[in-house]
């Protein structure tokens, strides 16, 4: 009933900014994975990331723990977009983008996406490399714990 809830909330929202925000993030809340996939793909266009706080919230929705099995497929593309995001966005947006994408992941596939991306780009921008490693640190540690059954110190 996600769309019904969103439609009800949109009808009850009088503030035009709040209404536009909800309209923007609503595809990230959709029950249909194809709608979410199209929304994520739309983020490749800079004009679809203009309000960065809305984008960050929408990306968090895409990677909600209940949807991470599906959303793990977005991680390689989110890494590929990082250089453009650094050029076109606010100084803090690359870190926020990475955190929104990686925070709820701990799977082998998520860890492998980071490792593969960095391995294929040995001369990648050092500052962005560090941001990726920072955002992926907890997911990598969680993955290690899940796979080894012991806590890393």
> 104-113, 123-132, 140-149 — which is least confidently predicted?
140-149
CA distance linking residue 48 with residue 65, whole number of Å: 24
Average pLDDT, the chain: 95
At 1 the pLDDT is: 81
- Tell me the per-residue pLDDT of 8-48, one tens digit each, with 9 for 90 and over: 999 999 999 999 999 999 999 999 999 999 999 999 999 99
List of long-range contacts for 38-41, beta carbons under 8 Å, 24+ apart:
40/74, 40/77, 41/77
What are the two backbone dihedrals, phi and then psi, of residue 44, each rounded to the nearest 5 degrees? -70, -20
- Tell me the per-residue pLDDT of 80-127, one tens digit each, with 9 for 90 and over: 999 999 999 999 999 999 999 999 999 999 999 999 999 999 999 999
Instruction: Give which of 132, 128, 99, 138 is closest to 114, Cα–Cα.
Output: 132
């Amino acid at each position: 009933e996600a769309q019904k809830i969103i439609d009800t909330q949109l009808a009850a929202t009088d503030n035009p900014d709040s209404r536009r925000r909800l309209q923007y993030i609503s595809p990230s809340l959709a029950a249909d994975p194809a709608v979410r996939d199209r929304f994520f793909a739309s983020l490749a266009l800079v004009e679809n990331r203009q309000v960065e706080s809305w984008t960050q919230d929408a990306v968090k929705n895409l990677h909600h723990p209940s949807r991470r099995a599906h959303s793990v497929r977005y991680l390689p593309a989110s890494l590929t977009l990082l250089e453009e995001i650094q050029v076109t966005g606010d100084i803090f947006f690359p870190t926020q983008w990475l955190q929104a994408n990686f925070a709820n992941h701990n799977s082998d596939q998520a860890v492998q996406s980071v490792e593969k991306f960095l391995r294929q780009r040995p001369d990648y921008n050092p500052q962005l490399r560090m941001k990726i490693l920072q955002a992926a640190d907890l997911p990598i540690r969680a993955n290690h714990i899940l796979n080894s059954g012991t806590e890393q110190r």
